[in-house]
């Protein structure tokens, strides 16, 4: 049997994840025929079909599912070998795959990129913005080096480093400016607009208002903080947003802002990575740069 290549395994993983030759080829930045040829060669080398090909979708065979579990381990091992080589270099360079959740990415990344570029001019930072559950999965599988998200994640295989804490801000229609800030109990009786399920900030907002996550809600769920704020401006209800999002999301919205009474509801933002990563020392240093760059002074609303 000829040797199986890492390229074939990466193409296999992409196709297994996408279930579509065209999307898998796009993800791998190759042509569809090139990817298809590598998959056929891999199956010929193995003497077994990895995929069941349908008219609109491809899916793994039973053998393909077993093969995939071993392939992911091989790819993760190869990634860790690359990381070991990078660690041996005097200057932190090469690729840093950084995951960030959507309620942090657009507000924090502009503040930290300049600092990271100045500290590590040869570092190629590649950003992946997605939900916490997906970041944890990709980090565990070695497809990400680190992630910035809300703590705690409480996964024993990850090291957590707190970066900063920030308050939640109440966003109300402009006509409600100056009204008393509702208590958590009162807020739970209002029409609270939230991010859709899967966003950790949704769960945090429900916790602030003491609303059970499984309780049926009559409200509007959105995929972004921007949409929530605009809906508040249209008079559809009220919402909560993290303080770092205020300058960006409220500059063109007809809304009013208010802080909650002390102790204010807050979230802790941190950076995590695998405890087994050979880049631990460098990632701790990166976390320090991010912490310094993200520091801000609390301003009146």
Write out pLDDT tens, residues 201-245: 788 877 776 666 544 455 567 888 999 999 999 999 899 999 999
Averaged over 68-81, what is the pLDDT? 88
The CATH number corresponding to 167-265 among 1.10.357.140, 3.40.190.10, 3.40.50.10710, 3.40.30.10 equals 3.40.190.10
pTM for the whole structure: 0.72
pLDDT tens, position by position, 243-273: 999 999 998 889 999 998 888 888 999 999 9
The pLDDT value recorded for residue 103 is: 92
The rounded distance, in Å, linking the Cα atoms of 116 and 124 is: 10
Asked if pLDDT for residue 60 goes beyond 90, the answer is yes
Averaged over 60-82, what is the pLDDT? 89
Topology of domain 6-85, per CATH?
A: Arc Repressor Mutant, subunit A (1.10.10)
The pLDDT value recorded for residue 104 is: 94
Q: Is 92-164+267-294 the same fold as 6-85?
A: no
Mean pLDDT taken over the chain: 88
CATH of segment(s) 92-164+267-294: 3.40.190.10
Domain boundaries, the chain: 6-85, 92-164+267-294, 167-265
Query: For the packed helices 6-18 and 21-28, what is the interaxial angle rounded to 10 degrees?
Result: 130
Residue matched to tokens 């790819």? 75
- Judging by beta carbons within 10 Å of its beta carbon (0-12, 13-18, 19+), is residue 211 exposed, middle or buried? middle
């Amino acid at each position: 049997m000829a040797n199986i290549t890492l390229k074939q395994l990466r193409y296999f993983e992409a196709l297994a994840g996408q279930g579509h030759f065209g999307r898998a080829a796009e993800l791998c930045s190759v042509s569809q025929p090139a990817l298809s040829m590598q998959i056929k060669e891999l199956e010929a080398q193995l003497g077994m079909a990895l995929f069941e090909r349908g008219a609109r979708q491809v899916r793994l065979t039973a053998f393909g599912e077993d093969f995939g579990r071993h392939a992911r381990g091989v790819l993760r091992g190869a990634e860790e070998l690359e990381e070991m080589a990078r660690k041996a270099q005097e200057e932190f360079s090469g690729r840093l795959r950084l995951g960030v959740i959507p309620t942090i990415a657009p507000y924090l990344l502009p503040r930290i990129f300049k600092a990271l570029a100045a500290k590590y001019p040869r570092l190629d930072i590649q950003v992946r913005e997605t939900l916490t559950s997906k970041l944890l999965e990709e980090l565990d599988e070695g497809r990400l080096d680190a992630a910035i998200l809300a703590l705690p994640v409480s996964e024993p295989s990850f090291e957590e480093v707190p970066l900063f804490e920030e308050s939640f801000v109440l966003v109300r229609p402009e006509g409600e400016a100056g009204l008393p800030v509702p208590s958590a109990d009162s807020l739970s009786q209002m029409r609270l607009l939230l991010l859709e399920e899967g966003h950790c900030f949704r769960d945090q907002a429900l916790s602030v208002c003491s609303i059970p996550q499984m309780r049926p809600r009559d409200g509007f769920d959105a995929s972004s903080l921007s949409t929530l704020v605009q809906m508040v401006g249209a008079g559809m209800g009220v919402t909560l947003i993290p303080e770092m999002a205020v300058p960006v999301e409220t500059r063109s919205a007809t809304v009013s802002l208010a802080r909650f009474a002390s102790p204010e509801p807050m979230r802790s933002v941190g950076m995590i990575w695998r405890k087994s990563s050979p880049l631990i020392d460098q990632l701790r240093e990166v976390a320090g740069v991010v912490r310094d760059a993200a520091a801000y002074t609390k301003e009146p609303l």
